[in-house]
């Protein structure tokens, strides 16, 4: 997805012919060709001129407003872009169809977490890690027979807790410590990157879901409500480990992130600052644009994996007999 | 996505400005009246439609050359910017 990320503060986005100009004070920070753009993400306090907003509405380019840590406040969409198209089919999915899909999603999440940890294990042996791998295996089999959502969410939570209990062992950079997942607010740098990373990926998935005409408020695993775009939360599960977690490990272990300079402490939590956000986004893009081999043997940028899953979900909605197959690390 | 070379010859200043403004949105100017655009099929069609409204074909000339992967590797650039690549995202 060709995206304009405005992660610096106090920028001004204006329209000039077919181009968006991003200025910070009098300095032009960047220019983007509007016809080739797919979405705009604005982190924190920057302005977009009405002319630019109108041009984006016209071209169906969503403008997403996020907090500096990536929480999505809302988005500007053209009035013609509703969720009417597939919404009816999504509402007609039966409880059983939704439960089967929800199970598949949780299993894929657990399996992908397991693969990530196992790959780390090759580098360092640890008894604890071994135990967690077995625990995750056990949970995968439990999920397969979970007969209600409470159980399913319970297994999912247990899996996440086990996974994050050893995630810290995969970090080899002594500057960063991770003992457990903390969020709202994230308590330390590693948690800050994880939170920001999930938020960014979540928003990309939301955009792709809307692009495919699916209603993001109807989902299988997460309880949808008018306040929660649950489908994005469903589809992010299978990608957390392969996309965000592995990127975080790389950023930390390869010393790309700096524990002193890239973070700020405020409101009782730890967050990425201007520098850190930019670093993360750059690495994220690089990773997403990297070509990976897909099922038919061809090579596609990693973005393609996300689009494929959203399309697969759409197929499932049209034809629930064709079960949704989540993404599994090859 | 394909690389298209778009070359125009437009005598009227006003129309030429409009065409060049439009092309600035879709590609990179590599010579005074030559653009290179890397576009999807739908973007290419959109460009066609919008350009069509701005030109007067009794006086103006525009050519579009799509380049196949085969010939793409054989492009030679003497002076000026390198061959236009797939546009990426922008971080500010």
What secondary structure, in 3-state letters, does A34-65 show?
Answer: HHHCCEEEEECCCEECHHHHHHHHHCCCCEEE
Rounded CA-CA distance A300/A288 in Å is 10
Residue pairs between chains A and B whose CB atoms are closer than 8 Å: 57
Query: Could you tell me which chain A residue has the CA closest to the CA of B38?
Result: A36
**Partners of A62 in beta bridges:** none
Confidence at residue A158, expressed as pLDDT on a 0 to 100 scale: 86
> Angle at which helices A274-289 and A189-211 pack, to 10 degrees?
50
User: How far is Cα A310 from Cα A36, in angstroms, rounded to an integer?
Assistant: 22
**pLDDT (0 to 100) of residue A82:** 60
What SS3 state is found at A252?
Answer: helix
| Segment A229-253 mean pLDDT | 89
In the prediction, which pLDDT does B44 show?
93
Q: Do A5 and B21 touch (CB under 8 A)?
A: no
User: Could you give the angle at which helices A84-92 and A303-318 cross, rounded to 10 degrees?
Assistant: 60
Give the position of tokens 């407003």: A65
- A14, A35, A280, A300: which to substitute to probe chain B, counting the most B Cβ within 10 Å? A35
Residues of A in contact with B22 (CB under 8 A): 17-18
Gap from A104 CA to chain B (nearest CA, Å): 32
Bond prior to B75 in cis (omega within 30° of 0): no
Q: Which two tokens stand for residue A38?
A: 């797919």
Q: Percentage of chain A with pLDDT > 70?
A: 93
CB A212 within 8 A of CB A50: no
Q: Is the dihedral of CA A46, A52, A57, A59 positive or negative?
A: negative
Q: Provide, as residue numbers in chain B, all residues whose Cβ is less than 8 Å from the Cβ of A1.
A: 89
| Mean pLDDT, residues A237-256 | 90
How many angstroms separate the CA atoms of A263 and A272, rounded?
A: 4
How remote is the C-alpha of A247 from its chain's centroid?
A: 12
pLDDT over 70 (residue A83)? no
The region of weakest confidence among A157-161, A256-260, B74-78 is A256-260
- CB atoms under 10 Å from CB of A220, counted, come to 24
Q: For the ranges A124-138, A260-274, B26-40, which has the lowest average pLDDT?
A: A124-138
pLDDT tens across B21-57, in order? Answer: 999 999 999 999 999 999 989 899 999 999 999 988 8
Helix axes B41-52, B13-26, angle to 10 degrees: 170
Tell me, what's the pLDDT at A103? 86
C-alpha span between A2 and A40 (Å, rounded): 9
Q: Which residues contact B28 (CB under 8 A, 6 or more apart)?
A: B35, B36, B37, B81, B84
Q: What is the mean pLDDT of residues A241-270?
A: 86
Residues of chain A whose beta carbon is less than 8 angstroms from a beta carbon of chain B are: 1-8, 11, 17-19, 22, 24, 29-30, 32-36, 278, 281-282, 285, 289
pLDDT value at position A172?
81
* β-strand pairing of A39-43 with A63-66: parallel
* pLDDT at residue A13, as a whole number: 94
Which of B88, B91, B92 is the closest to A2 by Cβ? B88
**Dist CA A39 CA A34 (whole Å):** 10
Whether A319 shows a pLDDT value over 70: the answer reads yes
Contact state of B92 with A5 under an 8 Å Cβ cutoff: yes
Predicted local confidence at residue A25, as pLDDT: 87
Alpha carbon distances (Å) from A195 to A185, A269, A272, B56: 9, 12, 10, 54
Distance CA A111, CA A137 (A): 8
Q: How confident is the model at residue A198 (pLDDT cuts 50, 70, 90)?
A: very high
Q: What is the pTM of this model?
A: 0.72
Q: Would you place residue A66 in the very low, low, confident or very high pLDDT band (cuts 50, 70, 90)?
A: confident
* Cβ-defined contact of B47 to A8 (cutoff 8 Å): no
Using one digit for the tens of pLDDT, what is the confidence trace for A269-312?
888 888 888 889 888 888 877 777 777 766 677 777 888 888 88
* CA–CA dist A193, A69 (Å, integer): 9
Query: Which of B24, B43, B88 is nearest residue A289 as measured by Cβ atoms?
Result: B88
Greatest mean pLDDT range, A57-66, B8-17, B69-78: B8-17
Contact A272, A192 (CB under 8 A): yes
All residues of chain B having their beta carbon less than 8 Å from the beta carbon of residue A7 are 91-92
**How far is Cα A145 from Cα B19, in angstroms, rounded to an integer?**
63
Please indicate whether, in this complex, the C-beta atoms of B90 and A32 are within 8 angstroms of each other. Answer: yes
Angle at B23 between CA B42 and CA A48, to 5 degrees: 85
Percent of chain A at pLDDT > 90 equals 13
ipTM of model: 0.81
In chain B, beta strands by DSSP E: 2-9, 28-31, 34-39, 61-67, 90-91
Note the pLDDT of residue A84. 65
Task: Say how far apart CA A307 and CA A210 lie, in whole Å.
Answer: 11
Give residues with Cβ within 8 angstroms of A250, minimum separation 6: A256, A283
């Amino acid at each position: 997805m060709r995206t304009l990320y405005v992660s610096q503060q106090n920028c001004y986005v204006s329209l000039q012919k077919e181009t968006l100009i991003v200025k910070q004070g009098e300095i032009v920070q960047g220019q983007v060709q509007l016809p080739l753009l797919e979405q705009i993400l604005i982190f924190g306090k920057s302005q977009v001129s009405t002319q630019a907003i109108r041009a984006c509405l016209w071209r169906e380019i969503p403008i997403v407003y996020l907090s500096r840590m990536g929480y999505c406040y809302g988005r500007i969409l053209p009035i013609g872009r509703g969720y009417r198209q597939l919404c009816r089919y999504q509402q007609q999915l039966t409880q059983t169809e939704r439960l089967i899909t929800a199970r598949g999603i949780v299993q894929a999440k657990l399996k992908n977490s397991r693969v990530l940890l196992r790959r780390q294990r090759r580098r360092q042996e640890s008894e604890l890690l071994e135990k967690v791998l077995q625990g995750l295996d056990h949970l995968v089999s439990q999920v397969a027979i979970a007969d209600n959502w409470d159980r399913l969410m319970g297994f999912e939570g247990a899996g996440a807790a086990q996974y994050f209990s050893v995630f810290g062992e995969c970090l080899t950079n002594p500057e960063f410590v991770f003992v457990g997942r903390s969020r709202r607010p994230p308590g330390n740098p590693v948690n800050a990157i994880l939170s920001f990373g999930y938020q960014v990926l979540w928003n990309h998935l939301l955009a792709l879901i809307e692009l495919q005409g699916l209603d993001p408020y109807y989902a299988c695993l997460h309880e949808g409500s008018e306040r929660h775009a649950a489908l994005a939360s469903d589809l992010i599960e299978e990608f957390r480990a392969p996309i965000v977690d592995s990127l975080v490990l790389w950023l930390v272990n390869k010393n790309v992130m700096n524990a002193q300079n890239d973070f700020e402490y405020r409101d009782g939590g730890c967050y990425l600052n201007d520098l850190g956000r930019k670093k993360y986004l750059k690495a994220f893009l690089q990773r997403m644009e990297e070509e990976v081999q897909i099922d038919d043997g061809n090579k596609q940028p990693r973005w393609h994996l996300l689009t494929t899953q959203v399309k697969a979900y759409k197929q499932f909605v049209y034809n629930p007999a064709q079960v949704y197959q989540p993404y599994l690390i090859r | 996505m394909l690389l298209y070379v778009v070359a125009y010859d437009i005598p009227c200043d006003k129309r030429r400005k409009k065409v060049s403004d439009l092309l600035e949105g879709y590609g990179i100017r590599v010579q005074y009246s030559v653009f290179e655009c890397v576009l999807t099929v739908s973007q290419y069609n959109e460009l066609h439609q919008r350009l069509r409204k701005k030109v007067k074909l009794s006086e103006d000339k525009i050519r579009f050359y799509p380049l196949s992967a085969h010939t793409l590797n054989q492009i030679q650039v003497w002076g000026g910017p390198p061959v236009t690549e797939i546009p990426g995202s922008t971080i500010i």
